[in-house]
Amino acid sequence: MRTQIKNTCLCVTTCRQVGALMVGVVIVLLIFVTSVGAQELTGDEILKKEDENRADSEISISEMTIVHKSGAKRVREIKAWMKGDDSTLVKFLAPANVKGTGFLSVNDNDWLYLPALGKVRRIATKEKGGSFMGSDFSYDDVGGYSWEEDFHAKLLDIEMYEEDDCYILELIPKNPEDISYNKLKRWVNKENFYSMKTEYYDIHGDLFKIMYPSKFEKIEKFWIPKRIEMQNVQKGSKTIIVIKEVQLNPEIPDQMFTTRQLEKK
């Protein structure tokens, strides 16, 4: 009887040890699976998803307000056509002193048309970082970027910004000679992959401008900011663009993005 009791105690002890070991194994497996499932995207993967959240083409009419440091304002009305990552045409509709002025960007080649001169002028690479028609946007900003193709991205952190979880990315130009910024710091919405804030640093590495997209509206499957504010922290000025009308994925012929079209009224 005593031997039987000893054997029973031994079995119980062994079972408890095995059970504890199995529980430990399960916990380790759960931690591993959870950590793999929660693994964050890389910076380049985030940029790719951001590019995927853009329509293939777009036509918009916007109001541009340039606010000088003194508080003085200038208001412009513009119409823009965009196709893919490398075709943009902008025309000024009002007021009269800028009506007919146009800007064209195709494959990193930029042109400006001024009605008073009656001819198209090519914008040199060194000028692309300059002010676009007196605004706080540069020609590069208006021409647009393909984030994935133009920048190396590094995920710096994840933090809350305006009640949304955001990826914080550091963007370094792949071809510094083609982009007028030393780097960008970008806050990207973690759920919907649209940009909520971008800091632009000049060639010396100093903070130059901050862009604040806002009033996001979901049109079809795309999140579109209906208001974009660019603040020049070095000059104390800002430019606000309010989108009044927008069409997503319209058919736009390639002929629209030519210097001949740029000269048309």
How is the chain split into domains, by residue range?
A: 1-39, 43-263
> For position 28, what pLDDT does the model report?
40
Which one is predicted more confidently, 29 or 41? 41
Q: How many DSSP H helices and E strands does the chain contain?
A: 5, 13
Residue 8, both tokens:
């029973």
Query: β-strands 87-94, 237-248: how paired?
Result: unpaired
Model confidence, pTM: 0.82
CATH fold group of domain 43-263: outer membrane lipoprotein receptor (LolB), chain A (2.50.20)
**Residue-wise pLDDT tens digits, 224-240:** 999 999 999 999 999 99
> For position 85, what pLDDT does the model report?
85
Residue 181, both tokens:
């910024």
Residue 157, both tokens:
């952190």
Closest of 138, 101, 131, 95 to residue 117, by C-alpha:
101
**Residue-wise pLDDT tens digits, 143-168:** 887 777 889 999 999 999 998 999 99
Mean pLDDT (the chain) is 87
> For position 52, what pLDDT does the model report?
87
